[in-house]
Amino acid sequence: MPRRTLTLATRNRHKVTELAQQLSAGWEVKSIADYAALPHVEEDGDTFQANAALKAVEISRHVPGFVLADDSGLEVDILGGAPGVYSARYAGLPSNDANNNKKLLVELEKANALTVDKRRARFRCVLVLAADGQSVESFEGSCEGHIDLTLRGTNGFGYDPLFIPDGYSQSFGELANETKAEISHRARALAKFLHWASLAIK
């Protein structure tokens, strides 16, 4: 049986290696860095699903096989789901983690979110699979928790030092990588894709 090609919409080689190790031998995993002159895709959708689909569908017009793209971010209930799709640039451009975290804490203070129940939040990830310019399937994962009012830990990035997942007393910035790999929003979305992939290759 010929191998199926899966291109990840990322230039991160670590992500490619990680996924290749989890897929069956029937898949060949590549990244967009393996191709020359692919178009830049503007992520201007208003949902994670829309942004992931924009990337996956457009890139799939230019490469063989399947393309898997993701978009993810933090949703805080009392802030109406913000920062949402603007998670990476919440404090404006140029963006950085420190400014984004600071803005989040300021917004929570404005919302008078003093108690944990008023700081409910989740990380959400959506993966979209596309081929030949068409969306094929999507896979969603989320990790529920709350926002702490103090930055905790240095293991991670983005809002990790502020996010305490349900069932844990440590932030994502304090938890071991192995634990995060089991419970994170990305891990849960990826598990759904891997299940699909295991059936699709048969």
Strand positions, DSSP E, 32-154: 66-76, 120-131, 134-147
Which candidate in 44, 70, 71, 97 is catalytic? Answer: 71
Cα gap 49→156, rounded to integer Å: 24
Known active-site residue 77:
no
Tens-binned pLDDT, residue by residue, of the chain (202 aa): 457 899 999 877 777 787 777 777 778 889 999 998 898 898 899 999 999 999 999 999 999 999 999 999 999 999 999 999 999 999 998 889 999 999 999 999 999 999 999 999 999 999 999 999 999 999 999 999 999 999 999 988 899 999 999 999 999 999 998 898 899 998 899 999 989 888 876 5
Question: Quick check: 127 and 138 in contact, CB under 8 A?
Answer: yes
Q: Which domains does the chain have, with CATH numbers?
A: 4-200 (3.90.950.10)
SS3 33: helix
Residue with tokens 């702490």: 148
